[in-house]
Amino acid sequence: MSDDRLPRGLGESVLQARMRAQWEDFRVMEDLGFEPSGSGEHLLLRIEKRGANTAWVAEQLARWAGIAPMGVSYAGLKDRHAVTEQTFSVHLAKRVAPEPLPEHESFRVLDQAWHARKLPRGALAGNHFVLRLREVRGERASVEDRLTQIASRGVPNYFGEQRFGHDGGNVASAKAMFAGKRVDRAKRGFLISAARSSLFNSVLAERVVQGTWDRALDGEVFMLDGSHSVFGPEPLDERLHQRLMDMDIHPTGPMWGRGELRPQADVQTLENRVLADQDELKRGLEAEGLRQERRALRLPVRQLQWQWLSDSPDPASPDLELRFFLPAGAYATVVLHALGEVSEG
């Protein structure tokens, strides 16, 4: 389900705008959440890249270091159509880095440090974003009111449309793969993720329509904020409601796999109903050996700040700069979706 068809959790669109007219309109700064150890065989390179995808930069670093591609790792993929800062680890067993440091018109090294372990996928606290929305059309008071709501309530934690490929084609490709079509190993992982994400988005969209994406139903499984730890179901009481209000815990939706759904009562009934006609994807994911997991339905948007920019070409349609932090696995595009209609270019 693409972003433009997903229901908004905080109300109808309050703006229309453009983004990514330039790469600098979309800036991402990775936060690993730890400091390098200062010793070890893995050289951590913090790199700024422009218009380059993460895997390609990793290939260039392997060539520079004279090692196999598997010797370079990174915590997460970063958007190609942006200016991003992220860290790569390069395994250098003799602790000797070639000179000079790698450089290309698409990337440059900002910092380096030695570390005891390579960077595994997902090993980051989150990302800081600086986004510029151009030619914003909409009532300024309504836009600022919506931003205040986003800061206090968060947004529905959808998977962004980039997870689903061009025109959402990854889900159809996943169905074909599950039906027996041969797919190379690298692409297989993307298609599995798209299938799982599509099922989750369907459940979350229904909770948004019902107005329950940020509150508990009977039989709820909760996730602790800032972790993947879950608990429940358990009887709802004032203590749980207060923890929900404080964003200490969040309701969850299914990441499909083998086994029984963990939620009970109303939540189990809802999820079974929404996914009743998705047997192709469900059976395919189960055959891949994945197990039932949970993902938070609500995404807190931390450190949200905004300013209207004085250098906008048209004062009647000013530019708007947004700054915020999202945990790992979250999408900045769903924050924009909660605001309104933001087109590319």
Q: Tell me the per-residue pLDDT of 94-114, one tens digit each, with 9 for 90 and over.
A: 888 889 999 899 999 999 999
Are 131 and 70 part of one and the same domain? no
Residue 11's pLDDT is: 96
Residue 3's pLDDT is: 59
Are 289 and 308 part of one and the same domain? no
Poorest-pLDDT segment among 62-66, 120-124, 221-225:
120-124
Q: Which helix (H) or strand (E) holds 254?
A: strand 249-255
Q: Looking at the domain assignment, is residue 255 inside a domain?
A: yes
Residue 2's pLDDT is: 42
Q: How far apart are CA 175 and CA 165, in angstroms?
A: 14
Residue 313's pLDDT is: 74
Whether residue 100 is preceded by a cis peptide bond, meaning omega within 30 degrees of 0, is yes
Q: Looking at the domain assignment, is residue 9 inside a domain?
A: no
Are 310 and 243 part of one and the same domain? no
Q: Looking at the domain assignment, is residue 246 inside a domain?
A: yes
Q: Looking at the domain assignment, is residue 185 inside a domain?
A: yes
Q: In which domain, by residue range, is 261 found? A: 161-200+211-298
Q: Looking at the domain assignment, is residue 1 inside a domain?
A: no
Q: What is the CATH number of the domain that holds 55?
A: 3.30.2350.20
19-40 mean pLDDT:
93
Mean pLDDT of the chain: 94
Query: Exposure string (b/e) for 123-158, b if CB count within 10 Å is 16 or more?
Result: bbebbbbbbbbbbbebeeeebeebbebbbebbbbbb
Q: What is the CATH number of the domain that holds 169?
A: 3.30.2340.10
Residue 91's pLDDT is: 96
pLDDT digits (tens, 9 = 90+) for 334-345: 999 999 999 987
Q: Looking at the domain assignment, is residue 133 inside a domain?
A: yes
Residue 339's pLDDT is: 98
Annotation says 277 is catalytic: no
Poorest-pLDDT segment among 103-107, 172-176, 236-240, 323-327:
103-107
332-339 and 140-153 are packed helices; what angle lies between their axes, rounded to 10 degrees?
Answer: 130
Q: What would the two tokens of residue 205 be?
A: 């969209």
Are 196 and 270 part of one and the same domain? yes
Are 187 and 275 part of one and the same domain? yes
197-209 mean pLDDT:
98
Residue 4's pLDDT is: 61
Q: Structurally, how many domains does the chain consist of?
A: 3
- 225 burial class (0-12, 13-18, 19+ CB within 10 angstroms)? middle
152-171 mean pLDDT:
91
Q: Looking at the domain assignment, is residue 20 inside a domain?
A: yes
Percent of the chain with pLDDT over 70: 99
Which of 115, 140, 171 is the endpoint of a domain? Answer: 115
Which residue in 79, 214, 218, 266 is the catalytic one? Answer: 79
pLDDT digits (tens, 9 = 90+) for 44-73: 999 999 989 999 999 999 999 999 999 999
Model confidence at 1: pLDDT above 50? no
pLDDT digits (tens, 9 = 90+) for 251-302: 999 999 999 999 999 999 999 999 999 999 999 999 999 999 999 999 999 9
Residue 126's pLDDT is: 95
Q: 66's torsion region: left (phi>0), alpha (psi -120 to 50) or beta?
A: left
Are 96 and 44 part of one and the same domain? yes
145-167 mean pLDDT:
93
Are 47 and 107 part of one and the same domain? yes
